[in-house]
Chains A and B, each alone.
Chain A
Amino acid sequence: MTLASDIPAQTSKRPTRLFHNLMAKIASIPMILTALVVFLGGTTWTIVYSFTGSRMLPRTNWVGFDQYERLWSSDRWIVSIKNLALYGVCSMVFTLVIAFTLAALLDRKIRFEGAFRTIFLYPFALSFVVTGLAWQWILNPDFGLQSVVRGWGWESFTFNPLNDPNTVMFGLLIAGLWQGTGLIMCIMLAGLRGIDEDIWKAARVDGIGTIKTYLVVIIPMMRPVFITSLVLIASGIIKLYDLVVAQTNGGPGISSEVPAKYVIEYMFRAQNLGQGFAASTMMLVSVVIILIPWAYLEFGGKKRG
Chain B
Amino acid sequence: MKVITKLLAATALVSASAASAVELEVTHWWTSGGEAAAVSKFAEAWNATGNTWLDGAIAGSGGTARPIIISRILGGDPMAATQLNHGRQAEELIEAGLMLDLTDVAEAGGWRDIVNPPALLDSCTLDGRIYCVPINIHSAQWLWLSHDAFEKAGVEVPADWNAFVDAAPALREAGVLPLAMGQQGWQQNLAFGAITIAVAGLDAWREVTVNRNADVAAGPEYAAVFEAVADARELARGSDVQDWNQATNMVITGNAGAQLMGDWAQGEFAVAGQIEGQDYSCLPGLGLNAILDTGGDAFYFPVNRDPEITAAQKELAALLISPDVQVAFNLAKGSLPVRGDINMAAANGCMQKGLAILADGGVLPSGDQSLSADTQLQIEDLMAQFWSGDMPAGEAQAKYASIIASAD
Chain A residues whose CB sits within 8 angstroms of the CB of B185 once the complex forms: 250, 254
Chain B residues whose CB sits within 8 angstroms of the CB of A275 once the complex forms: 374
Q: Does A213 contact B (CB under 8 A)?
A: no
Chain A residues whose CB sits within 8 angstroms of the CB of B385 once the complex forms: 75-76, 253-254
A56 touches B92 (CB 8 A): yes
Q: Does B70 contact A (CB under 8 A)?
A: yes
Tell whether A252 pairs with B93 under 8 Å between CB atoms, given A56-B70, A269-B373, A270-B374: no
> For chain B residues 378-393, which have a beta carbon within 8 Å of chain A?
378, 381-382, 384-389
Counting chain B residues whose Cβ lies within 8 A of the other chain, the interface size class is 20 to 34
Q: Does A272 contact B (CB under 8 A)?
A: yes
Complex Cα distance A253/B389, Å?
Answer: 7
A266 touches B388 (CB 8 A): no
Classify the secondary structure of B's interface with A.
helix
Tell whether A251 pairs with B381 under 8 Å between CB atoms, given A55-B92, A56-B92, A57-B92: no
Q: Does B20 contact A (CB under 8 A)?
A: no
CB distance from A133 to the nearest CB of B (A): 12
Q: Does B96 contact A (CB under 8 A)?
A: yes
Option from A56, A70, A74 in Cβ contact (under 8 Å) with B93: A56
* Interchain Cβ contacts within 8 Å, total number: 73
Q: Does B307 contact A (CB under 8 A)?
A: no
> For chain B residues 54-78, which have a beta carbon within 8 Å of chain A?
63, 66-67, 70, 74
**Chain A, 100-124, contact with B by CB distance < 8 Å: what is the 0/1 string?**
0000000000000000000000000
Chain A residues whose CB sits within 8 angstroms of the CB of B91 once the complex forms: 56
Option from A163, A255, A269 in Cβ contact (under 8 Å) with B377: A269
**Chain B, 302-329, contact with A by CB distance < 8 Å: what is the 0/1 string?**
0000000000000000000000000000
B96 touches A57 (CB 8 A): yes
B372 touches A271 (CB 8 A): yes
B89 touches A251 (CB 8 A): no
B377 touches A270 (CB 8 A): yes
Tell whether A75 pairs with B184 under 8 Å between CB atoms, given A165-B389, A251-B388, A271-B372: no
Q: Does A249 contact B (CB under 8 A)?
A: yes
Option from A252, A268, A272 in Cβ contact (under 8 Å) with B183: A252
Q: Does A265 contact B (CB under 8 A)?
A: yes
**Chain B, 383-408, contact with A by CB distance < 8 Å: what is the 0/1 string?**
01111110000000001000000100
Complex Cα distance A253/B384, Å?
Answer: 4
Tell whether A254 pairs with B381 under 8 Å between CB atoms, given A55-B92, A57-B92: yes
Q: Could you list 11 examples of A-B contacts with CB < 8 Å?
A: A56-B70, A57-B92, A74-B378, A76-B381, A249-B184, A250-B384, A251-B242, A252-B183, A265-B377, A269-B66, A271-B372
* Among all A-B residue pairs, the 10 with the closest Cβ atoms: A253-B388, A270-B377, A252-B388, A268-B67, A56-B92, A270-B374, A272-B374, A253-B384, A271-B373, A76-B381
A interface, CB within 8 angstroms of B: 55-57, 70, 74-76, 141, 163, 165, 249-255, 265-266, 268-272, 275
